[in-house]
Structure formats: structure tokens, C-alpha cells
Structure 1
Amino acid sequence: MKLNLKNPLVFFDLETTGINITKDRIVEISLLKIHPNGKEELKSRLINPEMPIPAQATAIHGITDDDVKDCPTFRQVAKSLAEMLEGCDLAGYNSSRFDVPMLAEEFLRAGIDFDMSKRKFVDVQIIFHKKEQRTLEAAYRFYCDKELENAHSAEADTIATYEVLKSQLDRYPDLQNDIAFLSKEYSSFNNNVDFAGRIIYDEKGVEVFNFGKHKGKPVAQVLRDEPSYYSWMMEGDFPLNTKQVLTKIRLRELNG
């Protein structure tokens, strides 16, 4: 089924040095841009993470230090990547928990503000798990009747994710061929204020903490009652995006 798009939709996948968003780095990125008219653009490239790639990471994606030693850093390609993503919605497999937060963190480290409020997100894994409970390889086999070659290659996973979403739309009549519907009904970003979900909106649309001793409390209230909590978070091991969101709330309250 051809996707019904109002905005370009970019399927993407990352390979990284590990799974810690604040400490690890991207080593490969693949993007498949689908335009509303059906035109497809595929771009993949290796990235120098400026840190050693652990053996356990190489065992998964096969990328070594030698493979990336002469490749550009993320900072060097960030501007062109941001331009490719401008005005686009995003889709991926397990992207809401890892790929989107990691990509946003890399953009912020490069000095580029990746604004999530301007785009929609579709996580094909969430649709799959709600419908069938499987892995990407099994999803590809189940929906597309194909074996996924080169699994954990960013490009192979990106293309497979695109094909799986199209097949899901063919298979399930209740899935509307509409990115706004898929994003709202099947994305875990709906209530997130920051990408990592440390701050979320409650049922009244108020920003509240989603972790720790202040879980469920309005962020603005905590910052008023315990000003040192802001400093603790800014000095702690939290994603840059979380710190950015926290600072925006603090400045809004100070200037309100």
C-alpha cells in the first residue's frame, strides 16, 4: 500500500557505540525519505564517533574503528542531515525509545536544535508489538514474506521497516493510512515533553516529572519549591534535550 502522506516521511535507523544516549555515539545512519508523491531517496553513511567502538557493539553491527577512522564526524554532517529532515515526519523501528532520543542528542551536541514539536513520529515496532509481538526479522518475514538479509545493517533495517509499515497498512483495516493517526495512536511520544520521557504532560496538559522523588509533581512547582533541583539535574547525567526542556520551563516561569 502506498503511504498517504501530507509531509515527507523519513524512515531511519542508527548503529551506535552502545545504548547510553548521553555517552554513546552514532557510527552509522541510514535515511529513507518518502515524498508525498511517492518519490524515494535513500542515504546511508558511516560516522566517526570520536571514541573507540566497543567489541560488543561491533559484534552486533559489524562496524569497527578502522571502518570509521576516515569518516566524517556527526558534527561535520549535522547541518546536511538537519536540512534533509526539515519539514519531515519520522518513522523507525524501536525509534521512540532509542533512535529518536539518540539522534536528537547528537544534534544538540552539534549545536542544532532538533524541535520535536514540529513533526510526527511513527514507531513501526509499537504497531507490530500491539498486533503480533515479534522482532524486526520476524516482522519482515511475517508481513513481507521475506528473510531479512544483513540484519543490524542500518540501511537494511531502514528499508525493511518501510516495507513492514506498508504491509501493516495492507493487513489491518483499522490502521488508517495517515501519519497523524499512526503517530497519535501508536507512538509513545504523545505525552513526552522531552525525548527521553523524563518530563511528560499529565492529563491536564501540565509538565510533570516522570521519575525520582518528584514523580508526578509539576515541574514548575518543584523548581519554585526546590530551586536546587534544577542545578542537580543540569549537573547530572541527563540527556542534553532533557536539560534543554527543563531550562525552557524554568525561564518561562521566571519571565511569567
Structure 2
Amino acid sequence: MKLPIKLDRPIAFFDLETTGLDPKRDRIVELAIILLSPDKDDFQRVRRFNPGIPIHPEASAVHGIFDADLVKEAPFESRSRNLFRLLDPCDLGGFNVRRFDLPMLIAEFARCGMQFDHRNRRVIDVQTIYHRKEPRDLSAAARFYLDVQHTEAHTAMSDIQTTVAVLDAQLTRYPDLSPDMDSLHSYCDRSPLRIGFDEWFRREGEDVIFVKGKHKGQTLQSVALGKSDYLYWMQNKIEDLHPEAKKEIEKALALTTADT
């Protein structure tokens, strides 16, 4: 595999599959590398790792790797030094590598006691080139769906008129898009809106559950019982905390005080 790029050092294109999306909590389960050198043969390798933690079902649904597939694989740490030596002299490349793969790799090396410094190397992100050269904005949608130039971009009425026209064209182009509000809402709701109270919590019956932060997935009441200082920090430091969220925190802390 050759690229029309004049290389002055090796470049390692890499892709990761992981247990999830959080570099602090999740782990690498598969790593593939294509290494191109100025004066050596190309190098390709793929390795799987036992992450030591369960793979999120949503992640398995994407990459098709399950916990049982990794039982006999070695942990990342066992191969980390060889991998570090392989990548250390390299520039880096990938797709969405700046936002996902590289932060995940840096975090994984850090857990092994190694500092993988990206600042002394060039990073080529193919997704960045794609998005800059083929923008996914309203003007691009107007060209694609309406075959017109959106000449008054970023004037409010023109933008929203074009938006409505694009939706009309989408409903015509894609027969699987059902023209009813519930179906369209469901189609667009790939990631829930986290605004106001929902930015921090969700409700499950009578429980209030953290949806982000270091207590993500835990009930508000359990955090109030064991880590109440975190809730006091939220009250005092998060200036735009939603009133409903404040009320629930106050209620949880009050119940904790009453129990003692």
C-alpha cells in the first residue's frame, strides 16, 4: 500500500475497537495498524486484548466483539511496551483519530505507566479532511436535496425556509421515513437531548440516576449516602445547574440528614 506522500518518518494508521467511548473508563479490545515507512516494507498487524472489564452491549453491537471472544487474549499491558516502541518514532493517521482513537490510546498507555506524547508528531485525520472538503451543513443539504445554492446562509428566515424544503425533499427521497411526528422523532433521537434536568439525571421510576460525571449510572440517593461532598460541590460550583436538579439534590441530602 503506497500513498503519494513524501514521508520523512514512518506513519502509523491505526483503528481501535473498545469496550465503550470513555477513555477514562473503557479499554481497547482490538487494535489494527498499517505502518508505512519511507524506506521499508509496509507493515500490517491486528491484535485483540482482554480488557478485564465487560464490553458495553452497544459497543458489541457496533464492532461484533463480545466478552467471550477475548477470554484467552492477553491484556493490553502485556503488549504495551512493544507497541509503544513500534509507534514511538511514527506520525499517526486514522479516521476520527483525533477525537477518539488517539485519546483512547494515550489513556491506555497511561494506565501502563507510559506517556505517549502526541505533541511531537503529526496526526492526519481522514475524517477531518472529509468533513472540511465535503461539509455537512445546510448549504450542502440544499445542494444535495434541492439542487440549489443556499445563497443567504446564516440569515434566519432563509435558513429555516431552506430547512423545511430540505425535510420535504427528504421525505420524498426516502420512503422508509414515515411522515408522522412520532416516527420522525424516534429516527432523530439517536442520542437523547440532555438539556436542563436531563443534562445530569434521568428518572427510572422513583429513582434519579446520574447520566454523566464520575457517578454515572448511580442513583442520586446512593451518592448522597456515600459521597455527599460531590453533591455539595455540584450545588456550589455549577452555576447553571437546573432548578429541578438542585431540588432533587436538596431532597436527597435532606433524606440523608434525616436518616442520621
Q: What TM-score do the two structures reach when normalised by structure 2?
A: 0.50
Which residue number corresponds to residue 17 of structure 1? 19
The amino acid across from 2:77 in the alignment is R
Which residue number corresponds to residue 49 of structure 1? 51
After the TM superposition, list the runs of 4 or more consecutive aligned residues in structure 1 that deviate by more than 6 angstroms: none
Conserved? CA contact 1:34–1:41, under 8 Å:
yes
Could you list the per-position Cα deviations for residues 176-217 of structure 1 after superposition, in whole angstroms to 9, with x for gaps in the alignment? Answer: xxxxxxxxxxxxxxxxxxxxxxxxxxxxxxxxxxxxxxxxxx
Conserved? CA contact 1:14–1:26, under 8 Å:
yes
Deviation at 1:3, TM superposition (A): 2.2
> How far, CA to CA, are the matches of 2:65 and 2:14 in structure 1?
18
Conserved? CA contact 1:2–1:38, under 8 Å:
no
Which structure has more relative contact order (CA 8 Å, sep 6+)? It is 1
Q: What TM-score do the two structures reach when normalised by structure 1?
A: 0.51
Structure 2 SS opposite 1:36: coil
> How far, CA to CA, are the matches of 2:56 and 2:90 in structure 1?
33
Structure 2 SS opposite 1:7: coil
Which residue number corresponds to residue 228 of structure 2? none
Could you list the per-position Cα deviations for residues 139-172 of structure 1 after superposition, in whole angstroms to 9, with x for gaps in the alignment? Answer: xxxxxxxxxxxxxxxxxxxxxxxxxxxxxxxxxx
The amino acid across from 1:54 in the alignment is H
Which residue number corresponds to residue 158 of structure 2? none
Is residue 115 from structure 1 mapped to residue 117 from structure 2 by the alignment?
A: yes
> How far, CA to CA, are the matches of 2:72 and 2:61 in structure 1?
21
Q: Which runs of 5+ in 1 are unaligned?
A: 135-231, 233-256
Deviation at 1:86, TM superposition (A): 1.8
> How far, CA to CA, are the matches of 2:133 and 2:108 in structure 1?
32
**Counterparts in 2 of 1:9 and 1:58: CA distance versus 1, 3 Å:** same
The amino acid across from 2:62 in the alignment is I
The amino acid across from 2:22 in the alignment is N
The amino acid across from 2:23 in the alignment is I
> How far, CA to CA, are the matches of 1:16 and 1:104 in structure 2?
13
Q: How does 1:92-171 map to 2 (within 5 A)?
A: 92-133=94-135
Identity %: 43
Deviation at 1:127, TM superposition (A): 0.5
Deviation at 1:37, TM superposition (A): 2.8
Structure 2 SS opposite 1:111: coil
> How far, CA to CA, are the matches of 2:56 and 2:105 in structure 1?
20
> How far, CA to CA, are the matches of 1:2 and 1:110 in structure 2?
36
Is residue 33 from structure 1 mapped to residue 35 from structure 2 by the alignment?
A: yes
Could you list the per-position Cα deviations for residues 21-78 of structure 1 after superposition, in whole angstroms to 9, with x for gaps in the alignment? Answer: 1001111001110001362100101111100112111110000111111101111110
Larger Rg: 2
Is residue 78 from structure 1 mapped to residue 76 from structure 2 by the alignment?
A: no
> How far, CA to CA, are the matches of 2:5 and 2:71 in structure 1?
38
> How far, CA to CA, are the matches of 2:5 and 2:39 in structure 1?
9
The amino acid across from 2:58 in the alignment is Q
The amino acid across from 2:106 in the alignment is A
Deviation at 1:118, TM superposition (A): 2.0
**Counterparts in 2 of 1:111 and 1:133: CA distance versus 1, 3 Å:** same
> How far, CA to CA, are the matches of 1:4 and 1:84 in structure 2?
20
Deviation at 1:132, TM superposition (A): 1.5
Greater CA drift, 94-103 or 36-45 = 36-45
The amino acid across from 2:116 in the alignment is F
